[in-house]
Amino acid sequence: MDRLYAPWRSGYVGSADDKGGKDACIFCSMFAQSKDEEHFILRRFTHTIIMLNKYPYNSGHLMILPKEHLADLEQLAPPVLHELIELTASANAILKKATTCHALNVGLNLGKAAGGSQASHLHMHVLPRWTGDTNFLATLADTKTISLDLPKMYRELKPHFEALPTR
């Protein structure tokens, strides 16, 4: 695989080493602050938080996370699990409407070996997809193009999530 020099990702890869502790968790650190716009937090609910992924696989890549620092589904109390799934369904509907995407990827990476880059804090991924959103760069150069500006996407999606009923 060729390497793409990407110094803007140093904050991500050099941040929490994900040894499992809440103190080392990049998500818990963001949640403790009152900088929702800076951290692309779209909305805080009773048990969960919806945010844009700062290092997306695709434009509009959302994450839905429990506020509590937990790694596995079986650790979630029923109200948290219920809210997580309800908000995943709401996020699907919002992304379809707001981005006019053709499809969605939804899923969890539970554990480091499953691809979880921050495996100690469970997070549901919701990604809009478009026909042809992978192109020759991904095929030939193993490089992904993200075509939408993250702050612009945040401003476009925020009103949709603010309009959701309180859970």
Which sequence positions are flagged as catalytic? Answer: 123
Looking from the CA of 71 toward its CB, the CA atoms found within 13 Å total 15
Looking from the CA of 11 toward its CB, the CA atoms found within 13 Å total 5
Q: Where does residue 20 fall: left (phi above 0), alpha (psi -120 to 50 degrees), or beta otherwise?
A: left
**Spatial CB neighbours of 158, under 8 Å, sequence gap ≥ 6:** 42, 43
